[in-house]
């Protein structure tokens, strides 16, 4: 058999013959490799950085000048043979045959041998200088590529690249390594020097150190002798180092609320969950670990570390950095990135990327799991699914609340189309079975974060309730002790009074059940803030017994002064409770009614009713309330009156709290209301201490509160009032905001409720 002549495409079409055809390659292939398979400049630079990592360099320096880009490393360098067999061989299998680097046994990051052509994406000329150490000394290689000239050659086999390879005669202070100089830039210096490109590059090569596996997951000692890897660092000259960000990385990452680590192999997935558990005295501890069967097509071991940073009270209280800066750092670094052999794969982890469907499912308020693993092993019962408060799926972290890294080692030698594989343009993975299995596994870990975080929050809530009940019981015990110590009461009278208090203590257990039912309606009833705990008819009988005890104490002439003060304090509380009960019973009846009427009502009368519930409390503290600017004939839009009461009540009690803790001697609240063509507008102002501008955006966050229980009879609440109020107002298609206060006032909340007109209006 004979071969067809090399590079001969002129066959005789009028003659019988047989033989072999060979492939020919157009030089335009280099343009395709360099310009079609790279997505943007940051990806092109990253591919060149990977080569310096594979060359066992400890550093890679990038300098972007007006007319050129310099990329330099101090790795092993390239000899003439290395260059011919690796650089000059397209789609070389060298990195497939040599999985680990020569010196430090790093996993090689390249795969198809085409990353070097990304230099063409950046400029028209590439100059290569490389120094190696051979048996006979140090040698230097010099090569130059003019891509425009190369394009003029039709067949790639006819392209000739000139080079020089020579021994360095006086190798003093010579180091091995490679320097690439890219000239004839296709992008301006300003474009290449932009902060976004630098940020993208550094994110690609610098995963947060705390997230990197501690077991040297990405280096394997395949040789008996292996030098210690000094690590790898990229320096972009001209970009100032931000030491504060590095310090925040070290500190903030350890102040997570919940953390999950996920380890995946061919047949199983192991998940560990850590948090600041109340069961362990708020110590950072592992609360869960288990392994599940997981047959997948990823084709790589996977390790992930994901940390959850919700906006909650005292989230960063133990941090030495300002909490606002800490939250900003989380926002700037949020997302779950994927690192393949220590280099990040874009776009995963970018702010706009939602590869784990977190933001999509949160936006739709999805009430079930997405991962097949969670659906199988952690099913949500239907009764829990229907409860907004208890469904953990509704509390899935958002992208902005998490920082995480997924580490994989893709295998480019595996011919399977199903395994995890990078796309040809180095922009993400192929959307195949392997990638879908990766999403399933990582999403499983995130859903376990939601499950155990919700469980912990319920535990903490129960703990706080129990502590409150314990405090009440201690106070009752103290009162009983004082009664027993009295010298003026008969034994019979003491027993009668003590029995009343014991009845109150016993009723606490019954009240718990009523509180549980009340909290299921927390989104509406939370608007009542401090009176939510009194929403039960059991208090009526308890207060009746307390009233009898007070009357009995007052009936005696020679009563100790301490008991007189207790009786006076109890009488004031009973008077207030009676007002609360009257108000909250009406509220509860409206909520539980099966036929709630949406009707208009007079706004001023409704506001007066709310204000009357705290009449005595307000007068005792010399707090003046002005509602004179509300017209008696101002009507509301059709709505549920109890909801309107709740809105006003929440804003009114917030104003009272602000004034109680204020040193102002002229304490004032002003409520005004009026209609425009589209809105009923209500303003609630006070001249208390005001809300600092720096935290005005945070007051809408759940569990954030600016008030303290210290010297505040109303209490601080749980930081739920304003977030719930905002949710209810927005459910009515309305708006709530902090607006500019008129002279003499420091805080003004404005509520805008839409006025719905009929067809004739």
Greater confidence, 421 or 42? 421
pLDDT for residue 220 is more than 50? no
Q: Does 241 score more than 70 pLDDT? A: no
Q: How far apart are CA 464 and CA 431, in angstroms?
A: 47
According to the model, what pLDDT value does residue 760 have? 38
CB 522 within 8 A of CB 724: yes
Q: Which H or E element spans position 550? A: helix 538-554
Confidence of residue 177 (pLDDT cuts 50, 70, 90): very high
SS (H, E, C) 447-512: HHHHHHHHHHHHHHHHHHHHHHHHHHHHHHHHHHHHHHCCCCCCHHHHHHHHHHHHHHHHHHHHHH
Q: Are 422 and 111 in contact (CB under 8 A)?
A: yes
| 65 pLDDT higher than 50 | yes
Q: Is 90's pLDDT higher than 50?
A: yes
Which pLDDT value is given to residue 622?
Answer: 86
- CB half-sphere exposure, 455, CA atoms < 13 A: 15
Confidence grade of residue 555 (pLDDT, cut at 50, 70, 90): confident
Percentage of residues in the chain with pLDDT exceeding 90?
Answer: 28
Mean pLDDT of 360-382: 91
* Average pLDDT, integer, range 147-173: 85
> What is residue 521's three-state secondary structure?
coil
Please tell me the least confidently modeled range out of 67-71, 473-477, 539-543, 587-591. 587-591
Model confidence at 718, in pLDDT bands (50, 70, 90)?
Answer: very low
Query: How much is the pLDDT for 15?
Result: 62
Using only the alpha carbons of the chain, give its radius of gyration. Answer: 36
Who has greater pLDDT, 235 or 5?
235
DSSP 87-98: ITSTT-SHHHH-
pLDDT value at residue 717: 45
The yes-or-no verdict on residue 139 having pLDDT over 70 is yes
pLDDT, tens only, 629-676: 999 999 999 988 878 888 898 899 888 888 887 777 889 999 999 999
CA torsion 576→582→583→585, rounded to 10°?
130
When the pLDDT of each residue in the chain is averaged and rounded to a whole number, the result is 78
Report the predicted TM-score, pTM, of the whole model to 2 decimal places.
Answer: 0.55
- Predicted pLDDT of residue 103: 86
The region of weakest confidence among 83-92, 277-286, 447-456, 710-719 is 710-719
pLDDT in the model for residue 650: 84
Residue 156: pLDDT above 80? no
pLDDT digits over 580-606, tens only?
555 555 554 554 444 456 789 999 999
pLDDT of residue 526: 43
The better pLDDT of the pair 529, 320 is held by: 320
The residue among 178 and 170 whose pLDDT is bigger is 178
Q: Please tell me the predicted confidence (pLDDT) of residue 749.
A: 94
- Quick: pLDDT tens for 511-524: 555 455 445 444 44
The CA distance from 231 to 545, in Å, is 75
Phi-psi region of 744 (alpha: psi -120 to 50; beta: other; left: phi over 0): left
pLDDT recorded at residue 26? 65
Share of the chain above pLDDT 70, in %: 73
Higher-confidence residue: 261 or 417?
Answer: 261
Give the neighbor-by-neighbor strand order of the sheet with 68-73.
163-167, 137-146, 123-134, 177-185, 68-73, 59-64, 233-236
Indicate if the alpha-carbon torsion angle 510, 511, 514, 520 is positive or negative. Answer: negative
- Predicted confidence at residue 489, as pLDDT, reads 75
Query: Where does 593-691 have alpha helices with state H?
Result: 603-612, 615-620, 641-660
* pLDDT confidence of residue 592: 47
Task: Read off the pLDDT of each residue in 153-177 and give the average, rounded to a whole number.
Answer: 86
Half-sphere exposure of 304 (CA within 13 A, CB side): 30
pLDDT of residue 492: 82
pLDDT of residue 759: 38
pLDDT at 538: 46
CB 742 within 8 A of CB 748: yes
pLDDT tens-place string over residues 607-641: 998 888 777 778 878 899 999 999 999 999 998 88
Q: What number of other Cβ atoms are within 10 A of residue 415's Cβ? A: 7
pLDDT for residue 437 is more than 60:
yes
Q: Give the tens place of pLDDT for each residue, 6-50.
A: 445 555 565 666 766 666 666 666 666 656 666 678 878 888 888
Residue 736's pLDDT is what? Answer: 92
Question: Do 109 and 341 touch, CB atoms closer than 8 A?
Answer: yes
More confident residue, 677 or 700: 677
- Measured CA to CA, the distance from residue 653 to residue 673 in angstroms comes to 18
Which is more confidently placed, 570 or 360? Answer: 360
**Angle 120-122-127 (CA atoms, 0-180°, nearest 5)?**
60
pLDDT at residue 722, rounded to an integer: 78
Residues 6 or more apart whose CB falls under 8 angstroms from that of 215 comprise none
């Amino acid at each position: 058999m004979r071969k067809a002549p090399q590079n001969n495409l002129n066959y005789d079409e009028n003659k019988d013959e047989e033989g072999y055809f060979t492939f020919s390659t157009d030089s335009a292939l280099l343009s395709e490799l360099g310009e079609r398979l790279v997505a943007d400049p940051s990806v092109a630079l990253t591919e060149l950085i990977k080569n310096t990592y594979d060359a066992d360099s400890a550093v890679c320096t990038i300098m972007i000048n007006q007319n050129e880009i310099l990329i330099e490393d101090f790795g092993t360098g390239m000899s003439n043979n290395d260059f011919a067999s690796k650089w000059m061989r397209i789609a070389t299998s060298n990195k497939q045959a040599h999985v680990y680097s020569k010196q430090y046994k790093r996993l090689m990051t390249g795969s198809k041998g085409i990353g070097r052509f990304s230099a063409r994406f950046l400029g028209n000329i590439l100059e290569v200088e490389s120094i190696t150490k051979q048996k006979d000394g140090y040698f230097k290689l010099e090569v130059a590529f003019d891509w425009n000239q190369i394009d003029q050659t039709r067949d790639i086999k006819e392209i000739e690249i000139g080079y020089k390879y020579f021994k360095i005669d006086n190798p003093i202070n010579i180091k091995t390594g490679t320097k690439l100089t890219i000239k004839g830039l296709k992008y301006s210096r300003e474009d290449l020097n932009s902060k976004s490109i630098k940020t993208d590059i550094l994110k690609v090569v610098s995963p947060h150190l705390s997230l990197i596996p501690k077991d040297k997951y990405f280096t394997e000692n395949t040789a008996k002798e292996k030098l210690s890897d000094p690590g790898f660092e990229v320096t972009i000259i001209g970009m100032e180092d931000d030491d504060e960000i590095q310090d925040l990385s070290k500190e903030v990452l350890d102040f997570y609320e919940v953390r999950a680590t996920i380890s995946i192999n061919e047949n199983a997935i192991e998940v560990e969950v850590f948090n600041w558990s109340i069961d362990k005295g708020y110590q950072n501890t592992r609360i869960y670990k288990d392994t599940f069967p997981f047959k997948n097509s990823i084709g790589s071991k996977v390790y992930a570390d994901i940390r959850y940073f919700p906006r909650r009270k005292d989230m960063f209280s133990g941090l030495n950095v300002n909490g606002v800066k800490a939250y900003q750092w989380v926002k700037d670094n949020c997302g779950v990135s994927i690192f393949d052999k220590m280099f990040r794969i874009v776009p995963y982890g970018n702010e706009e990327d939602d590869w784990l469907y977190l933001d999509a499912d949160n936006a739709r308020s999805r009430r079930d799991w997405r991962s097949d693993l969670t659906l199988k092993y952690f099913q949500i019962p239907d009764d829990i699914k229907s409860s907004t408060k208890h469904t953990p799926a509704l509390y899935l972290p958002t992208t902005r609340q998490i920082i995480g890294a997924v580490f994989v080692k893709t295998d480019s030698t595996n011919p399977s189309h199903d395994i995890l594989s990078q796309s040809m343009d180095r922009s993400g993975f192929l959307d195949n079975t392997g990638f879908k299995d990766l999403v399933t596994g990582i999403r499983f870990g995130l859903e376990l974060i939601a499950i155990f975080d919700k469980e912990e929050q319920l535990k903490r809530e129960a703990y706080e309730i129990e502590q409150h009940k314990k405090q009440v019981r201690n106070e009752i015990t103290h009162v009983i002790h004082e009664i027993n110590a009295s010298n003026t009461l008969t034994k019979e009278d003491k027993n009668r009074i003590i029995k009343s208090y014991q009845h109150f203590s016993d009723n606490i257990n019954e009240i718990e059940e009523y509180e549980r039912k009340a909290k299921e309606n927390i989104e509406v009833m939370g608007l009542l803030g401090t009176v939510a705990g009194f929403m039960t008819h059991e208090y009526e009988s308890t207060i009746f017994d307390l009233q009898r005890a007070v009357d009995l104490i007052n009936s005696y002439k020679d009563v100790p002064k301490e008991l007189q003060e207790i009786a006076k304090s109890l009488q004031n509380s009973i008077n207030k409770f009676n007002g609360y009960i009257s108000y909250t019973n009406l509220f509860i009846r409206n909520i539980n009614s099966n036929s709630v009427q949406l009707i208009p009502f007079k706004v001023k009368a409704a506001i007066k009713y709310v204000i009357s519930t705290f009449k005595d409390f307000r007068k005792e503290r010399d707090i003046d309330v002005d509602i004179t600017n509300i017209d008696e004939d101002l009507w509301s839009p059709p709505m549920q009156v109890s909801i309107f009461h709740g809105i006003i009540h929440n804003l009114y009690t917030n104003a009272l709290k602000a004034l109680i803790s204020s040193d102002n001697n002229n304490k004032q609240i002003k409520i005004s209301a009026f209609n425009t063509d589209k809105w009923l507008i209500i303003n609630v102002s006070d001249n208390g201490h005001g809300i600092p501008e720096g935290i005005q955006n945070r007051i809408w966050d759940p569990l954030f509160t600016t008030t303290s229980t210290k010297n505040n009879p109303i209490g601080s609440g749980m930081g739920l009032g304003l977030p719930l109020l905002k949710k209810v107002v927005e459910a009515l298609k309305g708006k709530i905001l902090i607006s500019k206060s008129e002279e003499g006032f420091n805080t003004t909340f404005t509520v805008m409720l839409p006025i719905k007109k009929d067809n004739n209006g």
